[in-house]
Amino acid sequence: MMWSEAAPSRSLMTPMAVEQTDAQLVARCRAGETAAWNELVERFSRYVYAICVRGFRLERQDAEDVFQDVFSRAYERLADLRSDEALRPWLAQLTRRLCVDRLRSLARNAPTAAEPDESVADETLAALDEALAVRAALEALDEPCREILDRFFCRDESYATIGEALALPAGTVASRISRCLAKLKVELEGRHGPSEPSGRVR
Amino acid sequence: MSDYDEERIAKLLRMLPPAPEAWVQAAQELPAARAALDGLVARAEADAAFRERVLADLEAAISAAGITPTRAAVSRLRQLLDGG
């Protein structure tokens, strides 16, 4: 593939002026747009990271190696992807395989280490798929809501830290989080519809 | 995806913390890194003295090429120089 343009700098939350489908993103990557590759990495970095550290509980160094390996292989093999819409499951499968390989390699070098329990990882991966859907809905909210929910829930920042960063009193932070969470709920219901408890999240 | 009570939404949000920024940046630099590493290897193949200098300090050679010397980049360069 040929690539153009320099990588843009990252902000806390990347604005998603126009939400593109995974297929559109893959097509732009194939056309050689560096910005599209940056966006692909941005879109799936949390997902790949979470599979490594939550699904397979890799230590930081191992998780970093797998993380880079996933995107390296994805970059090499994007042209071979059979269906552009299948990007997420393809990345999930690739990450899973590389995590298992890493754990098996570690187990060979430390015979007391347990073999990877893929059934536990299966449950976590199913929940991560849901989490990614919530993440996509979050990206559709206005920027102030995206930022405050990301800071509070994903980055685990306190009311005080958020208040300082956004120049808001703690009480306003709390009420804004509550209001934005309600907006996110409406956005999700608009996308997927209410009811049917799944109970996957542990 | 269903049953969107706010507690559950919060749990799902917490499941996807950001990956370390340096990791994301390194992954985004992959296209440029590949090109830079290929350039280093081509030059090393043509210049034995340069190859020795690169092999003596892979991280420095990668940095000098303007790329973050991640473990993955160092490993790939070593592999390429070994003919892998």
A49 neighbourhood in chain B, CB within 8 Å = 17-20, 23
Q: In whole angstroms, what is the distance from residue B49 CA to residue B71 CA?
A: 24
Q: In whole angstroms, what is the distance from residue A166 CA to residue A148 CA?
A: 9
- The pTM of the full predicted model, rounded to 2 decimals, is 0.79
What does pLDDT average to over chain A?
84
Query: Last residue of some domain: A140, A157, A173?
Result: A140
Quick check: is A202 in a domain?
no
Q: In whole angstroms, what is the distance from residue A146 CA to residue A59 CA?
A: 29
Interchain pair A72, B76: CB under 8 A: yes
- Say whether both A150 and A110 belong to one domain: no
First CA to last CA across chain B, in angstroms? 44
Quick check: is A112 in a domain?
yes
Q: How far is B66 from chain A (nearest CA, A)?
A: 13
- Say whether both A151 and A130 belong to one domain: no
Read off φ and ψ for residue A4, nearest 5 degrees.
Answer: -135, 165
Q: How far is A64 from chain B (nearest CA, A)?
A: 7
- Say whether both A43 and A101 belong to one domain: yes
Quick check: is A154 in a domain?
yes
A42-72 pLDDT, tens per residue? 999 999 999 999 999 999 999 999 999 999 9
CATH number of the domain to which A149 belongs: 1.10.10
Residue with tokens 């559109």: A24
Query: Last residue of some domain: A119, A140, A161?
Result: A140
- Say whether both A124 and A187 belong to one domain: no
Quick check: is A33 in a domain?
yes
Nearest CA in chain A to B73: A68
Using alpha carbons, select from A155, A138, A99, A184 the residue that is nearest to residue A91.
A99
Neighbours of A146 (CB within 10 A): 20
Most A CBs within 10 A among B5, B7, B13, B14, hence the mutation to make, goes to B13
Counting the structural domains of chain A, the total is 2
B64-78 pLDDT, tens per residue? 988 888 887 888 899
- Boundaries of domain holding A187: 142-194
Assign A18 a pLDDT band (cuts: 50, 70, 90): low
A153 neighbourhood in chain B, CB within 8 Å = 10, 13-14
Domain ranges within chain B, ordered by starting residue: 20-81
Q: Are A118 and A100 in contact (CB under 8 A)?
A: yes
